[in-house]
Amino acid sequence: MNLDLASIALSDLIEVLIDGILFGLQLSLLAVGLVLIFGLGGILNLAHGEFVIVTGVISAVLISSGWNPAVAILAGILFSGILALALDRSVLRPVYRLEGEMEVLVGLFVTLGLAFTLEGITSYLFPGLYFSVRVPVETVSIFGLSFRASALVSGMISFLSLMLLLLFLGKTMTGKAIRAALQNQTGSKVCGIDVDRMRSLVFFLGGLMAGLAALAKGIASSVEPGSGLELTSYALIVGVVGGVRSVYGAMVAGILLGIVNALAGYLLGTYLTLVILLAIVVAVILYKPSGLFAGGV
Amino acid sequence: MDLLKVEGLKAGYKGLNVLWDVDLSVKKNTIVSIIGSNGSGKTTLLNAIMGLVEISEGDVVFKGERINHLRTQERVTLGLAFVPSERELFPQMSVQDNLMLGAYTPRARRSIKDSLRQVYDFFPVLKERSNQLAGTMSGGEQQMLAIGRALMSLPELLILDELSTGLAPAVTLRIYRKLKGLSERMTVLLAEQNIHQAFMVSDYIYVLENGRIIASGSPDELSESSLIKNAYLGVKA
Ligand SMILES: Nc1ncnc2c1ncn2[C@@H]1O[C@H](COP(=O)(O)OP(=O)(O)OP(=O)(O)O)[C@@H](O)[C@H]1O
Ligand SMILES: [Mg+2]
């Protein structure tokens, strides 16, 4: 058989690209919630990655105690949504009464505290636990290229979740009210929109999206306690690159950074990828502080 | 019947009181204007009625109900609509979406199609540009959009802060005529810089100076008053 080096490199590259897109979709799913919550609540939620862990932990515990996996995962996702909602309604309530810089700073420390608390509780109660969903088929080959079936399924779930969110925000009256509240709070109130209620709803949605990200991640690889802050860092990177108030920007930036991440990992080595992503964030903040894709939703 | 009553109102901003003991009432199916020089407190008064500025003393009563404690969106649900002086549109949404959001309350949502048609009849330019982003409309078009959005909520009391801002005089005049026509069904409260237009269109006028009502009456009564003639109408008494 005649081996052609150039074509191997190309097919490798395509696989890397697709891997990048699939990972990027997970990032998007994680970042949209962060961006929505920042846009409406004025809080950069450093506990956002913990919502992923919580879904993973709840699902794994329920599955191991005999629940039907589908129901267990659904319960896990729902739990993250409700947890996010509960945070909005309780500890964050006093933070919203602050203004400007003070709200941002106090918000950072309150959510950082929450992140450590949740990370502590989940690691202490469930050491060594991890959430992973196996797909029955190993690999799928498309046009002569082979893909891990799990990565494809995971990507599909991320993509569908994002499309559903876009549809909700773009087509329903409640979705439009959320976008309205992101763009102009006084204007929203004058239209009869309850901005506080929209903010709570956005927390719930952000929690659900993080829960869905846990499912996507659990299928592609695994979710385990202790990695929440790393996930939050990814979400922050994507959110800032996309434009920290833009849901649409977060989606595009997630995919873009997923590709960069995969390429950097392939060409330079995985230990460098996070550093490269951080360098990109710094460059975006310096040269285009509103984000690459600000505007839109 | 008084649709809106403001009694002994004191309001302002952190560390700065602006309105002092303001009394005002708006009868159903009339057009009432508040006039006064820059910084006299017109915007503050309208914002206080809408719940956008905190009240420290006094009452706002709408349809016989004290609404001091209600949040802005609850006041809108009760039948108040507001066109703020800064318009407060949703810049990255289409003209049509901006209008639809004006009909967010359940009552207004039921007749959203009819209202949309009426607003488009009222402002044909909004129909032509229904897909354009609100933020890219001209100043005058944005003002029409803000008025259209307020009408979408089918208000009982329409409150307008500086209706004429950014609009050509002919357009302002046309809107005033339309409002006059609408006042069969709707009541209107205006803050207006343009004294002549306020005199032309209003059934009753309040004059606000330094946060206090210093005179009030029908346009005829006020134009007889030498104080008003000197200060506002540019006529020597
Ligand atoms: N957000 C605010 N914080 C502090 N002071 C304010 C604020 N808004 C208005 N003021 C002050 O309150 C007073 C009344 O302002 P207001 O905007 O109500 O006047 P106005 O009659 O609407 O004036 P104009 O005709 O210029 O619109 C002014 O002295 C103004 O400086
Ligand atoms: Mg004003």
Interatomic CA distance for residues A170 and A159, integer angstroms: 16
Number of domains making up chain A: 1
* Angstrom distances, CA of residue A145 to CA of A7, A88, B127: 12, 46, 51
What b/e string do you get for A273-286 counting C-beta neighbours within 10 Å, with b at 16 or more?
A: beeebeebbeebee
Which residues from chain B sit within 8 angstroms of residue A176, using beta carbons?
93, 97, 100-101
For the residues A274-288, what does the mean pLDDT come to? 87
Note whether B50 contacts A190, CB cutoff 8 Å.
yes
In a domain, A141, yes or no: yes
Determine the pLDDT at residue A257.
94
The percentage of residues in chain B with a pLDDT greater than 70, rounded to a whole number, is: 95
Interatomic CA distance for residues A224 and A218, integer angstroms: 9
**Which residue has the CA at smallest separation from atom 25 of ligand 1?**
B38
For the residues B136-158, what does the mean pLDDT come to? 95
For the residues A157-169, what does the mean pLDDT come to? 96
Provide the CATH number for the domain around residue A64. 1.10.3470
The percentage of residues in chain A with a pLDDT greater than 90, rounded to a whole number, is: 71
Rg (CA), chain A: 19
**Structure tokens given for A148:** 């891990």
Residue B134, Cβ density class (10 Å: 0-12 exposed, 13-18 middle, ≥19 buried): buried
User: Are the beta carbons of A291 and A253 closer than 8 angstroms?
Assistant: yes
Determine the pLDDT at residue B236.
46
Interatomic CA distance for residues B132 and B119, integer angstroms: 16
CA-based nearest residue to A34, from A249, A259, A232: A232
* Angstrom distances, CA of residue A271 to CA of A227, A239, B26: 16, 22, 71
For ligand 1, mutation pick of B22, B37, B44 (most atoms within 8 Å of CB): B44
> Residues B108-118: pLDDT tens digits?
999 999 999 99
How is residue B149 annotated by DSSP? Answer: H
Determine the pLDDT at residue B169.
85
Q: Which of B101, B133, B142, B157 to mutate to test the interface with A (most CBs of A within 10 A)?
A: B101
Count of alpha carbons within 13 Å of B193, Cβ hemisphere only? 13
Question: For residue A297, what pLDDT band results from cuts at 50, 70 and 90?
Answer: low
Interatomic CA distance for residues A229 and A48, integer angstroms: 8
Provide residues with CB under 6 Å of ligand 1. Answer: B 13, 16, 18, 36, 38-44, 193
In a domain, A37, yes or no: yes
In a domain, A296, yes or no: no
In a domain, A195, yes or no: yes
Q: What is the mean pLDDT of chain B?
A: 92
Q: What ipTM does this complex have?
A: 0.93
Q: CA of A191: which chain B residue's CA is closest? A: B102
Interatomic CA distance for residues A266 and A192, integer angstroms: 52
Question: Is the predicted pLDDT of residue A170 greater than 80, yes or no?
Answer: yes
Question: For residue A244, what pLDDT band results from cuts at 50, 70 and 90?
Answer: confident
Question: Is the predicted pLDDT of residue B206 greater than 80, yes or no?
Answer: yes
Determine the pLDDT at residue B15.
84
Determine the pLDDT at residue A1.
44
Which residues from chain B sit within 8 angstroms of residue A39, using beta carbons?
none
Determine the pLDDT at residue B231.
65
Instruction: Specify the 3-state DSSP secondary structure of B71.
Output: coil
Q: What is the mean pLDDT of chain A?
A: 91
DSSP A192-244: T--HHHHHHHHHHHHHHHHHHHHHHHHHHS-B-TT-HHHHHHHHHHHHHHH-T
Determine the pLDDT at residue B183.
72
In a domain, A5, yes or no: no
DSSP B90-140: -TTSBHHHHHHHHT-SHHHHTTHHHHHHHHHHH-HHHHHTTTSBGGGS-HH
Q: Which domain holds residue A137?
A: 11-287
In a domain, A3, yes or no: no
**Structure tokens given for B43:** 């915007």
In a domain, A219, yes or no: yes
Candidate from A213-227, B92-106, B218-232 with smallest mean pLDDT: B218-232
> Residues B163-196: pLDDT tens digits?
888 888 888 888 888 888 877 789 999 998 888 8
> Residues B92-111: pLDDT tens digits?
999 999 999 999 999 999 99
Note whether A194 contacts B73, CB cutoff 8 Å.
yes
In a domain, A297, yes or no: no
Q: Which of residues 148-187 of A touch B (CB under 8 A)?
A: 173, 176-177, 179-180, 183-184, 186-187
